[in-house]
Structure 1
Amino acid sequence: MRSARSAGEVIFDTINVVVLCLLSFITLYPFLYVLFASISTPSEFVQHRGVLLWPKGFSMDSYRMVFENPNIIRSYLNTIFYVAVGTTLNILMTALGAYGLSRRNVMWGSTIMLLIVMTMFFDGGLIPKYLLMKNIGLLDTYWALIIPSAMTTWNLIIMRTAFQGIPVALEESARIDGANDWTILFRIIIPLSLPVIAVMVLFYGVWHWNKWFDALIYLRNRDLFPLQLILREILIQNDTSSMMTSVGGGDRMPVGETIKYATIIVATLPILFMYPFLQKYFVKGVMIGAVKE
């Protein structure tokens, strides 16, 4: 029979619930503020000051303006391309590197790994990178945001550690049956490492989706701009002064303030939708790749 809880336990649990609810609200409120602002009536929102706990009126004009803006639509499609192609290349290159460095008795394996790890601490700098991109002809191309970031050292270390945790007996039995390294990697190692692969997809996908600085440095053609660079122009350079919408009687009112928040929502939702599908792999994948038994 369950014993009665003491007054101290009840007080402790109550305080925990209150504190956690408060922290959850503090964490969630910035997103709610942006959401409420994006669907508020522009004329009412610009007059509001202070905390926003519900929309001021209701209007979808900001979202209509976002999707009618050709720069945003084009940059959205560019970002999808960068995420899809970039993440695919990232996973392939990271898996190949991790597999080679995780095998036993690899010639100079420790030395190669040391040289790779050194890239986390030493960097050539922005100007040498720019000159390199210019000399190899990647400036103002889609590949300027994909090829230079084909693999990151930290993710390589995580995936390499995960591959090392797979029993060697599986590889040995596959080789007895005539399997080569390609078969072992794609038919055995990767299927057994799906949690880590899912985490890598999330890491690389979010990284590509939020990337804007490389585009600012390497791209001049606006047709190649990713969404985040257009969003930066809207938020920092206040490039919404010409965005107006009609109201009753032919008057015009600015939606510059609310369109900023609508753009943030449009840019954020795809990443938020990724988490429910990958969350079951997240903790397991990180732990597998971060702790070597």
Structure 2
Amino acid sequence: MTTAPGLNPPGLPARAVKGVVLLACCAVVILPFITIVSTSLATREQVTRSGGMVFLPDEISFAAYQAIFNGDVVTRAILVSLMVTVVGTTLSLVSTTLLAYGLSRRGSVAHKPFLMIVLFALLFTPGIIPSYLMVKSLGLIDTYWSLILPVMINAFNVIILRAFFMELPEEVIDSARIDGAGDFAILWRIVLPLSKGVLAVVALFYAVSYWNAFFSALLYLNDISMWPLQLVLRTFVVNQTQVGVDQLGVAGADLPPQEAIQMAILVLSIIPILVVYPFVQRHFTKGVLIGAVKG
């Protein structure tokens, strides 16, 4: 019995090469993260001795995290980011689901014009100046709505959900209509329970987008007290702004090293996504392949 071409198991050299490449890729991802966490837990002497970044600390210190949570700036920024992420993700998921379901029903009112608008928005995005003028004309400057409303519906996510809804069995929906169920009843009792996987993927897409967004806050929020965590992180790390008594409320002599504070803020910005991602990771393959294979 012959084996079809291309189906032979790889030999030992090929498996060894794949293992080395996989280990190298893991090292590229894991080693910087270990360095960030280690630096946030290092003491002043260790940071000074290593020249700024510590790979493995000899002694663990939580002074940087204590300083962050004792102050108002970072703590308030974390609460702002959580609020914007939760509210924005909820509104985005609801509006995207309703729009996608309406576009998936071929008999809906103005089906094709709305679909063309969504496709146009997917291909062409507004510039910074038109977006700013629109937000300003709506009176959203220095409000948290400026971080949510302009990006509440993502055309790519609408297309993903629409493709999934169109693949649902029409027989199930038709039988529900025969039993007297309306569109909202069908959506709530039939479509949504069958779409938990793709909804989890879209919700994660939105949550990551809201959590990591900083440029919209830089444009629309002039009040520093309203800044989300990512913008505070950019100010402290990217701009190399010194984190001191005014931001943390810690005496200068007790202030942890700047590198430790900056890395601690970075760790706090990463943790929520790391916590949420494993619960929806198994849905990603399904969500990415939606609409790619018909049948």
Same fold (TM over 0.5): yes
Structure-2 separation of matches of 1:283 and 1:98: 20
Alignment equivalent of 1:154, drawn from 133, 153, 156: 156
| Counterpart Cα distance in 2 of 1:75 and 1:241 | 14
Map Cα deviations across residues 96-152 of structure 1 (whole Å, 9 max, x no partner): 110010012334423321222112233332222212212211111111111111100
Calculate the TM-score normalised by the size of structure 1: 0.89
Which residue of 204, 207, 217 corresponds with 2:206? Answer: 204
Structure 1 residue corresponding to 2:134, chosen from 132, 135, 140: 132
Distance 1:44 1:199, change over 3 A: same
- Of the three residues 41, 64, 67, the one matched with 2:66 is 64
Answer whether contact 1:63 1:262 (CA < 8 A) is retained: yes
Pairwise CA distance, 1:289: 5.0
Amino acid across the alignment from 1:264: L
The one of 268, 271, 276 aligned to 2:270: 268
Q: Structure 1 residues 19 and 127, CA, compared in 2 at 3 Å: closer, same or farther?
A: closer
Q: 2:197 — aligned with what? A: 195
Matches within 5 A, 1:149-188: 149-188=151-190
* Cα distance in structure 2, aligned partners of 1:136 and 1:124: 16
Say whether the 8 Å CA contact 1:145–1:214 is kept in structure 2: yes
Could you say if the C-alpha distance between residues 256 and 79 of structure 1 is closer, same or farther in structure 2, counting changes exceeding 3 Å? Answer: same
Q: How many residues align?
A: 283
> Percent same amino acid at aligned positions?
37
- Evaluate the alpha carbon distance shift between residue 116 and residue 251 of structure 1 in structure 2; reply closer, same or farther with a 3 A threshold: closer
After TM superposition, list the pairs within 5 Å mapping 1:6-85 onto structure 2.
9-49=11-51, 52-85=54-87
Q: Which moved more, 1:46-55 or 1:62-71?
A: 46-55
Tell me the alpha carbon deviations over residues 53-78 of structure 1, each in whole angstroms, 9 at most, x when there is no partner.
Answer: 41253211111111112011111111
Q: Is 1:141 aligned to residue 160 of structure 2?
A: no
Structure 1 alignment gaps of length 5 or more: 1-7
Per-residue deviation at 1:253? 5.9
Q: Any stretches of 5+ residues in structure 2 without a counterpart?
A: 1-9
Q: Distance in 1 between matches of 2:157 and 2:254?
A: 51
Report the 3-state secondary structure (helix = DSSP H, G, I; strand = E; otherwise coil) of the residue aligned with 1:57.
Answer: coil
Question: Counterpart amino acid of 2:196?
Answer: L
TM score, norm. by length of structure 2? 0.89
Residue 203 of structure 1 aligns to a residue whose secondary structure is helix
Aligned with 1:116 (options 109, 118, 124): 118
**Does residue 234 of the first structure (1) align with residue 248 of the second (2)?**
no
Cα RMSD (Å): 2.2
Residues 78, 224 of structure 1: 8 Å contact kept:
yes
Q: Secondary structure at the match of 1:288?
A: coil
* Structure 1 stretch displaced more, 277-286 or 170-179: 277-286
